[in-house]
Structure 1
Amino acid sequence: MSERPTSSGSAVPSKRLSRLWHLGRATGDLAAGIGVKGLIDLARNRGGAQSSRIQLSPEHTRRFTDRLARMRGAVMKMGQLMSMDGSDIFTPEAAEIMSALRDRAEPMPLSQLAKVLEGEYGAGWDKRFKRFDFTPIASASIGQVHRAETRDGRQLALKIQFPGVRESIDSDIDNLTFLGRTLGMAPTGMDIAPFLDEARRQLHREADYVAEADSLDAYRAMVGEDADFFVPRVHRDFSTINILAMDFAEGAPLDRLAEPTYRRAERDRAATLLMRLSLRELFEFGLVQTDPNFANYLYDAANGRIVLLDFGATQTVASALVDEFRRLAQAAIRDDRPAMRAASVALGYMGEDDPREHVDAMIEMLCLSAEPLREPGHYDFGASDLFERVYRRGREMFHSGVFSTAPAPETMFLHRKFMGSFMLSRRLRARVDLATIVRECLGTST
């Protein structure tokens, strides 16, 4: 009936004190890696214009990430975000090791998995399946995925939540908040509490498999019978509060299209499809899957379809917010700076009474970011250094105090999504006619 596991895994710490102990050990590894001098430098430079770089050895960084990978949950999820956005804080070597958090989490041991399955499906749960593969096909921060075949022949992917993850989110975020403030990872004068509260709400939503099933159904209905995309169906009779049962889908990780065995035309097509879909999510659906993890996309080479996975981070976007993003995009295309300023104030990117130099700096940053929207023809993401230019400029603004006004917290996850789409296009070295796609999605020819 089943395939036995190839690895015993490690138990997920599910009690608050146990998780606090593990985080304490991880923090200890981080502090040991930084050293006394590094901690003094961080404290001295906190809030100033000088950038302090954490010099972590590969050994200490590996210990830190190992701890986060064993904890899973909110701690690992926030570590994944650090690996995406922390290249100004960590050395390149440390950032590379941190990036492993995007692709790994230790699976549960068989004994813990069996306990979860029995708790959700009841005694004799295995009789519901013709086959159950105990070795997970994926393992992430919230849960792990197993392939199974039901007695009536349905091929399923079962997303099984790690025990205690949902209950530990609040304490994990509180502990990470303390760590982040201790290390001075926010600009002086900016209140990061709304962003942490939004992260807390998002993580609670990701751990709510009932909400994810509803989002998956809603998103599937909006995509419809699209020959370019496959959105799995939910199987409610095998889903519980801690298990989400979906269609199993074949495919290779989409970023493998960057390998020489695939043609440029395939890379360009895949990136174009996902760029258009990302914009449709915001401007047409009002429903955005905000997790930019590359592993959430598979490529089915047999029919050229892109498989869309993981809808735990899906959120609706208020129509008023969509309208302001539309105004900002239209103004950026026209290089209409007064209109860009008005939309930016409405979105919270700047205050109505901000100093002129702060306003000008923010407008220049937005114009720089909008470069692919204004260039006619296909934008070559593989040859572009736009990300580095935006990042360097953003870092300068971060340390100069320009970001004294915090935008609407819900925009944080929209930024993640669009940055993820940009980074995927870059990974694929794709050429995308983004200017035309944006105009189509905005419903304008200007």
Structure 2
Amino acid sequence: MSQFSDNGGRAVPSQRLSRLWHIGRATTDLAVGVGARGLWDMARTRGASGQRIRLSPAATQRFTDRLARMRGAVMKMGQMMSMDGADVFTPEAAAIMASLRERAEPMPLSQLAQVLEREWGSDWNKGFRRFDFTPIAAASIGQVHRAETRDGRQLALKIQFPGVRESIDSDIDNLGFLARTLGMVPKGADPRPLLEEARRQLHQEADYQAEAEALEAYRTLIGDDPAFLVPAVHRDLSTNRVLAMDYIEGVSIDRLSENQFSRQERDRVSSALTDLTLRELFEFQLAQTDPNFGNYFYQPESGRVVLLDFGATARIAPSLVTGFRRLAAAGMADEVPAMHQAIVDLGYLSADAPRQNVDALTELMRLSGEMLRTEGLYDFGSSDLFERIYQRGRELYLDGAFSELPDPSSLFLHRKFVGTFMLCRRLRARIDFRAMMARYL
């Protein structure tokens, strides 16, 4: 068994006042880095067409370091801000912020010991032949350790940061205050339903027993699909704050973009993951809504994708399934009136919304449906669709066209859709998306 020694990590701030202080410091770093005029432009104005917010590398590093140290809901916000694609920040700043998708500071061993003793008892180490105290991964809610039990099981142990669950409510309240203060909420929109959905999902992510149940349900749905592998849960070592599952070897999914992997392999894996996203919506009615690339491993030897991290798994209401099916069918047929009706049915607009908002949002949805109207392979590697959607969406947002917010659960589904397509873009994949969607309509 590895020796228990200090790893130099900094403690997770777990008290409300301590976390509020860190949020204040992070906001100050961001504001200073952008500058008063830049912050005003980011929050209130359109600025020059396509111009990105300039944030100095030093200020960006301080901002991301602060969020990485806090973990929890605040780090989740930073990860969402850093999603790959048409960022509002310069490429230099975006590259630094992207590190939030792959790292969080590990907790010091003194905190780790307290968590393990609380969950498993003071003699917990007697059940292990080996326990690696250096984590193999650390994210916003917890960190992952590799271990081998006395009976020979190879495990990945997801261990929750102390205080993260208790800080969710205060973090969401503080983030809501900052969003309203900085003008990051569409004019006339009420952000409270979305914040409440974020609060609910984060509490769910922090409940490892709920994640174990979701993982087992998803493993049953996947069955013996040769394209995917889902680790098994080990219930005897799983608690509300520790999740024990199979340790499975693999490489990060975005490594497929490297030259040693062929175009055919990239296309095959991207098609499988895109089809899985559609199956989640139209067949499973159960979706893993966190599209972080770190949630997928690839096994070059078997060609299978390992699916990890089911903390953000959500049931999908039948009404949403019906609504998205109608929207996809209208988009494939390029029927604008049917598209408008589907948008209203999904709650993106009310039936009596101003005509200019109806036309603008329908136009944006039609633009988003470009892949549905493309016969044959859609080439993500040469497409600038995401930049066009982002630019047009930002213009409409700043013009106040998004004064209504749909069912919050549908927004988290959009997060999954965008994440899947961003992965296809990263892998420069070619997919017959139209034919794939047709199977579900």
Which TM bucket (shorter chain)?
over 0.9
- 3-state SS, counterpart of residue 149 of structure 1: strand
Counterpart residue number, 1:219: 218
- Asked whether the 8 Å contact 1:4–1:133 carries over to 2, the reply is no
Counterpart residue number, 2:186: 187
Counterpart residue number, 1:32: 32
Counterpart residue number, 2:137: 138
Deviation (angstroms), 1:37: 4.0
Deviations 1:315-335 (A, max 9, x none): 000111111111111111111
Deviations 1:201-238 (A, max 9, x none): 11111111111011011111111111111011111000
- Asked whether the 8 Å contact 2:160–2:241 carries over to 1, the reply is yes
**Pairs aligned (count):** 439
Counterpart residue number, 2:406: 407
Counterpart residue number, 2:200: 201
Counterpart residue number, 2:244: 245
Quote the Cα distance in structure 2 between the aligned partners of 1:231 and 1:66: 32
Distance 1:359 1:77, change over 3 A: same
- Asked whether the 8 Å contact 1:324–1:343 carries over to 2, the reply is yes
- Asked whether the 8 Å contact 2:85–2:387 carries over to 1, the reply is no
Quote the Cα distance in structure 1 between the aligned partners of 2:293 and 2:214: 19
Deviation (angstroms), 1:256: 0.2
Counterpart residue number, 2:10: 10
Deviations 1:103-134 (A, max 9, x none): 11000111111111111110111101111011
Distance 1:121 1:251, change over 3 A: same
Deviation (angstroms), 1:88: 5.5
Q: Which runs of 5+ in 2 are unaligned?
A: none
- Asked whether the 8 Å contact 1:376–1:433 carries over to 2, the reply is yes
- Asked whether the 8 Å contact 1:83–1:95 carries over to 2, the reply is yes
Deviation (angstroms), 1:360: 1.7
Quote the Cα distance in structure 2 between the aligned partners of 1:53 and 1:153: 53
- Asked whether the 8 Å contact 1:5–1:135 carries over to 2, the reply is no
Which residues in structure 2 correspond to 1:63-78 (within 5 Å)?
A: 63-78=62-77
Whether 1:394 and 2:384 are equivalent positions in the alignment is: no
Counterpart residue number, 1:353: 352
Deviations 1:228-286 (A, max 9, x none): 11011111000011000011111000110000011111100000000000000000000
Deviation (angstroms), 1:428: 0.3
Quote the Cα distance in structure 2 between the aligned partners of 1:414 and 1:334: 23
Which residues in structure 2 correspond to 1:206-355 (within 5 Å)?
A: 206-355=205-354
Counterpart residue number, 1:20: 20
Distance 1:6 1:86, change over 3 A: farther
TM-score (norm 1): 0.95
Higher alpha-carbon deviation: 327-336 or 66-75: 327-336
Higher alpha-carbon deviation: 66-75 or 18-27: 18-27
Whether 1:174 and 2:176 are equivalent positions in the alignment is: no
Deviation (angstroms), 1:4: 6.0
Higher alpha-carbon deviation: 394-403 or 244-253: 394-403
Quote the Cα distance in structure 1 between the aligned partners of 2:86 and 2:383: 19
Counterpart residue number, 1:366: 365
- 3-state SS, counterpart of residue 441 of structure 1: coil
Quote the Cα distance in structure 1 between the aligned partners of 2:213 and 2:275: 23
What is the RMSD computed on CA atoms of the aligned residues? Answer: 1.8
Q: Which amino acid counterpart does residue 355 of structure 1 have in structure 2? A: P
TM-score (norm 2): 0.96
Distance 1:76 1:183, change over 3 A: same
- Asked whether the 8 Å contact 1:74–1:173 carries over to 2, the reply is yes
- 3-state SS, counterpart of residue 216 of structure 1: helix
- 3-state SS, counterpart of residue 249 of structure 1: coil
Counterpart residue number, 2:152: 153
Quote the Cα distance in structure 2 between the aligned partners of 1:227 and 1:257: 18
Deviation (angstroms), 1:47: 4.8
Distance 1:86 1:5, change over 3 A: farther
- Asked whether the 8 Å contact 1:50–1:399 carries over to 2, the reply is no
Quote the Cα distance in structure 2 between the aligned partners of 1:47 and 1:341: 28
Percent of paired sites with the same residue: 64
Deviation (angstroms), 1:32: 2.1
Distance 1:185 1:86, change over 3 A: farther
Deviation (angstroms), 1:357: 2.4
Distance 1:360 1:37, change over 3 A: closer
Q: Which amino acid counterpart does residue 206 of structure 1 have in structure 2? A: E
